A and B are shown apart, each in its own frame.
Chain A
Amino acid sequence: MRYSIISVLSQGLRGQKGWTRAWRDAEPRPQYDVVIVGGGGHGLATAYYLAKEHGISNIAVLEKSYIGSGNVGRNTTIIRSNYLHPANARFYEWSLKLWEGLEQDLNYNVMVSQRGVLNLFHSDGQRDAFARRGNAMRLNDIDAGLLDEAEVRRLLPYLDFDNARFPIRGGLLQPRGGTVRHDAVAWGYARGADRRGVDIIQNCEVTGIRIERGRVAGVETNRGFIRAGKVALCCAGNSSQVATMAGLRLPIESHVMQAFVTESVKPLVDMVVTFGAGHFYISQSNRGGLVFGGDIDGYNSYAQRGNLPTVEAVMESAMALMPGLGRLRVLRQWGGLMDMSMDGSPIIGLTPVEGIYLNAGWCYGGFKATPASGWCFAWTIARNQPHELNAPFRLDRFASGHVIDEKGAGAQPNLH
């Protein structure tokens, strides 16, 4: 069913009884051209763009749980492209451009809200660094503006500008950044892929990858063997586990990251604000809850839950930035698994095993990348070579020395 004002009105007159399910609950077939392992945002986007851009529709997306159960439903919904490094800037800007047209493309309301992303700075040195980043962004045709303290005061009067340790001196604004309803992204891509013939198979866990004469033959699952011409791995958080099935050892550690949401309040924070003196970012959901998070906990974890010292650090940052937050109660707190790569940048490309393609290492920046990740990965799978946009994110860059280390932290995953 195509969604439109007419469908909304006619369903309103019929008591909302005629809505059909958005995608089929498919059963696995014995053979596919492409099997995508992982039904998160990136896997579903990959299936969608394979079908839409490359005419390949004999595809299965295998999800071990239900659609939306992983990181696509656990992130803080922020989109932006305020990167310094040219490879990152080009890739994330393409993602932002795809976000801008996504609702029309998918015929699905994913609530793209370009409310602006403001990175605050707290010292002269940080102002210089942010000015440099803003200039780099503008050289890459990305919108950026440097705001002084008075301008930030006008926008966000409730911040603690005169904090004794971290006074707010201004901010770098990307007006086109913002937020997107995260699980609607999964649903929209799932529906779009399904309408083009893709089988989305839930509760189907891959338990092995069969390789015959150096080439992939298919995947073993808890619902039987599925033969596949190509296998695409899209399971950030568990990438190392799945890659091991194909004999690959990845430059990735799995870490836990926590996020928080408060009780609902009236409209208060009308943009995405990040604290420059710690790692903290906050926005307000359409339901009214303030959504925020901080750093990863910093140690290997597959637990999908974190520890209290990180909670304390996030709350301290919150209070240093916006003291009024102390009057709110935190309703929920949760953790997600991060594929922390060795240089802080993702991996999208070919692998040493013929027919296996890898999309991994998203650190905690995977959500905003969803459209471009799927778009580039679909290109890579269909043509058996990376697109210009994802060519720098190749797996063998670690061996050749072409790492993309935006923060300059070195090969220490917990520092990115």
Chain B
Amino acid sequence: MRIHCPYCGERGVEEYSYRGDATVRRPDANGPDALERFVEYLHLRDNPAGSHQEFWQHLHGCRAWLVVQRDVRTHAIESVIAASRRVAR
């Protein structure tokens, strides 16, 4: 598996560190249902068998955090963007 870093170009997966599902969002700590939301945020995952949006950090390169869209059935990488460029939902 090779990931195309937007800053460094295509590099082997051994240069990167996996940082998990990128679709979960930290909930509002002051919300009325904060406890329940935090349990979901910390523990529950969709874990799809298909296209998966995930964080990778180019740890042994430029150290940038990336958002990678990857098919977890084939390991084929669909897209890579810098996490800082992702538009906040």
Complex CA–CA separation, A178 to B71 (angstroms): 37
B14 in the interface (beta carbon within 8 A): yes
Complex CA–CA separation, A412 to B24 (angstroms): 13
The DSSP consensus for interface residues of chain A is: mixed
Complex CA–CA separation, A221 to B32 (angstroms): 41
- Using a CB–CB cutoff of 8 Å, the interface residues on chain B facing chain A are 1, 12-14, 18, 20-21, 36, 39-40, 42-49, 52, 54, 72-75
Complex CA–CA separation, A40 to B26 (angstroms): 37
A199 in the interface (beta carbon within 8 A): no
| Pair count A-B, CB < 8 A | 67
Contact with B along A398-412 (1 / 0, CB 8 A): 110000000000011
Task: Please tell me if the beta carbons of A249 and B72 are within 8 angstroms of each other in the complex.
Answer: no
| CB pairs A–B below 8 angstroms (22 shown) | A240-B45, A240-B47, A249-B45, A250-B45, A251-B44, A253-B20, A253-B21, A253-B47, A254-B49, A254-B72, A298-B18, A300-B47, A300-B54, A303-B73, A307-B1, A307-B75, A342-B42, A342-B43, A398-B42, A398-B43, A399-B36, A411-B43
Q: Knowing A309-B12, A342-B42, say if A412 contacts B20 (CB, 8 Å).
A: yes
Contact with B along A276-314 (1 / 0, CB 8 A): 000000000000000000000011111100010100100
Contacts of A250 in B (CB 8 A): 44-45, 47
Task: Please tell me if the beta carbons of A240 and B46 are within 8 angstroms of each other in the complex.
Answer: yes
Question: Which of A302, A307, A414 is close to B72, meaning CB atoms less than 8 Å apart?
Answer: A302
B66 to chain A, nearest CB (A): 13
Complex CA–CA separation, A256 to B21 (angstroms): 16
Nearest opposing residue in chain A for B73, CB measure: A302
Nearest opposing residue in chain B for A300, CB measure: B72
Complex CA–CA separation, A221 to B45 (angstroms): 25
B22 to chain A, nearest CB (A): 11
